[in-house]
Every structure is written in structure tokens, then in C-alpha cells.
Structure 1
């Protein structure tokens, strides 16, 4: 009886092992297709040419088949460069996996045509378009966005023009004699003073008026508007 019981247990273990060995696994190809569709949809509105390469999953990874697959962008990931796209099974006792992807974005970005000094105001002849594979989502494609802006520091020829390099021109400069204006309901008071700092359009500037008092206002077309 004892031998018969042992034989039954061995047979049962063999059946379970065979079943586990032949159990169908989630198709890696289907996962890759889902990732490809996700990347195409998420990058369709981006300017420039987008290429991507999806890495093959390790063939040793075996996932249970799932009828409810979802794709997502993991927190901290971006749709550029070396990144990962998540795929999860939304069924009970589901699973989750990250698929490595390389996304290349090529844009016709604006670059400097020559070496330019700090404080230089950009003109048409200072910029040109160049097709570049970008590593981060920045840079300019429209010259109208940067013509007339001023360099914060000197740059070399062929350098991509980025937002942190540029500032708006000053509407008021330190030491400049400026007109001040205070407006209220039914009144308007004009005055004069000396600007204590540089300020672009709309920025706050401090002004020392004739009484020696310092007031603050917003730079507007060379005039400092002081609140009542």
C-alpha cells in the first residue's frame, strides 16, 4: 500500500511538471508590437524625424498569457534616448515588465554660425539650421523666437541655441534715468528716478526717486509702472 502511494505521488509530480513545461507563455512578439504602437502614438506629435529600436526580451523570461495588456511610460522616463516602456497584465495576479527602447529624434535646429560674445543681440546672420539628433527635448526650430534676444554668455560656432543661453533685451538698464507712472481710479502721477537694476519687459525694477526713497515697479516700454 505504501509503495502504491509513493508511485501515485511520483506520477502526479510528473504530470504537474509536464503541464508546467508545456504551458503556453505570453508572446514576446506581441509585447514588442504593443511597445512599438505606444512609441508611435506618443511621438506622433513631435517635430522632426523619429526612429526607434526595441530590444528583444530575454528568451528565458516566461510570462503567463494575458488578455488585458497595457502599455505605460514609467515615472522618470522620457520618450527620447535610451529609455524603457512598461507593459503590464491588468488581470488578477498579473505581471509587469519594462522593455528597453532606444528613441532617436532628429530635428533641424538653430545653431550659431560663428563665435558670438556675451551680450550679443542675435540677428538673422548669426543663426543657421542644422539637422541634429537631439539627446534632450530642447533647442529652437523657429528663428522668430530668438531674433532680438541677448546671449547670457559667449558661445562657439555651430552651438545649438538653447533657452538657458538667451534672455530678453533689457527695457531698463541700471543707472538709467527713467520715467515713473502711478495710476489709480481717476488719477495718474508721473515722476522720474534712477533705475537701480537691469530689467527686461515686465520684470521688476527698483527706482530711486528725487526724495531719496526707493520704489519698485514693472518695466513697460522704458517706463516704470509703480502700483498705487
Structure 2
């Protein structure tokens, strides 16, 4: 997927105004790159395909409502800020690194999203609540994620977890410790990447 194709993919599905908003997010990420390493420099030239569309594709797996969304380890805003740009959902961005959390707060404000985007500068273990949708992109193994976020998830939580080529092996490993419904979707941005969708996750006794 080229950058032009990626932008068209966004505008065709979400409208030109949403694409414009995401353009502002992309500009902020690029501008901040000189201050901190938000994304891999090798992906900067393909930011729309590798990060924006890669994040936006999760929405098709999340359901059509506007349930609250928790993004663990948000980093540069992917996928959490992309989800906030494309929907009216309340979104919580959990980012323990203070400089990145500060960037997320500034950017949410510049995007006009501060009223429904909360930034938590801590590890997910310190959060409380019960989030209907939880995402985490390149953060930890499934087993580690389920354990860390046990206090903010329940049996009705939908987990959306982008993974690389080892996705199927991670699912099999997680099944040893966790009950639940797990299936794997192909990523539209990378033929060797997958998205693990999990529901009903609970620890085996």
C-alpha cells in the first residue's frame, strides 16, 4: 500500500475531514521526531500505511457502537489517537513514558479531542475500571498483556492486538493460561502481520 493509497483508503471510508484531522496527527508525529524517537525512522516515509491505516483497520473489528476504548502503550498515538480521530468514542491512552505522555496530551489538545481523550502516564496495572475495547500494538506477548490488564478488563472486553508473523504461536501459548475466544485476522497493510481478536478472556484455574 503506497502513501497515496493509504490516504485514499482513509478518505473513502471515513471522509475527507477525518483524513485532514489525521494529517494533523501525522504532522505532529513528524515534527516531534527530532525531539524523541516516537516511531522507527525507517517507517517515517510510509507513516500513513504503516501506522495510520494499520491503526484504523482495527475499527472494523471493534463493533459499530461508541464504547470506551483503552489503548495500552500508545507511544506516538497509534492506534489510540487514530481511533479518537475517526470516531466519537471516549479513548484512554495509557503511556508510562512521561515525555510521550506529554506529547499525547499536547497533540490531543491540538486535534480538538481533549474532551474525550484521557492520557494516563502510568503502567496499565495502575489503572482501574472495565474497558469494553482494549488495544495494544507491539507492546508485549498476549499472556503478559492479559495479566497486566486484568484489572481493567472483563469477559465482555474485546481485545484487538496487532501482531507479527508469530501471532498464531502467541495464541497457542496464551491458551495454556487463558480461556477465551481467539481468532486471527490478516492485516491489510502487511501480508506477514496479523490482528488477534479475543473475547471472553479469563485466567484458567
- Tell me whether the two structures share a fold, i.e. TM-score over 0.5: no
Which of the two has greater strand per residue?
A: 1
Q: Radius of gyration: which is bigger? A: 1
Question: Under TM normalisation by the shorter chain, which class is it?
Answer: under 0.3
